[in-house]
A and B are shown apart, each in its own frame.
Chain A
Amino acid sequence: GENVEQHPSTLSVQEGDSAVIKCTYSDSASNYFPWYKQELGKRPQLIIDIRSNVGEKKDQRIAVTLNKTAKHFSLHITETQPEDSAVYFCAATKNRDDKIIFGKGTRLHILP
Chain B
Amino acid sequence: GAGVSQSPSNKVTEKGKDVELRCDPISGHTALYWYRQSLGQGLEFLIYFQGNSAPDKSGLPSDRFSAERTGGSVSTLTIQRTQQEDSAVYLCASSKMGGLYQPQHFGDGTRLSIL
Contact = CB atoms under 8 A, between A and B. Distances in A.
Interface stretch (B13-21, B60-68, B70-78, B101-109): B101-109
Given A32-B101, A51-B100, A102 B45 contact: yes
Residue from A51, A100, A101 with most neighbouring chain B CB atoms (10 Å): A100
Contact of A102 (B43, B95, B97, B107): B43
A43 B56 CA distance: 23
B45 A43 contact: no
Contacts of A34: 103-104
Interface string B88-102: 000101010111110
A100 B100 contact: no
Interface magnitude class on chain B: 20 to 34
Contacts of A31: 101
B50 A104 contact: no
A103 B41 CA distance: 11
Contact of B48 (A99, A103, A104): A99
B97 A97 contact: yes
Interface string B33-45: 1000000011101
B42 A102 contact: yes
Interface of A: 31-32, 34, 36, 42-46, 49, 51, 89, 93, 95-97, 99-105
Interface of B: 33, 41-43, 45, 48, 50-51, 53, 56, 91, 93, 95, 97-101, 103-109
19 contacts: A34-B104, A36-B104, A43-B106, A44-B91, A46-B103, A46-B105, A89-B43, A95-B101, A96-B97, A96-B98, A96-B99, A97-B53, A99-B33, A99-B48, A100-B33, A100-B95, A101-B45, A102-B45, A105-B42
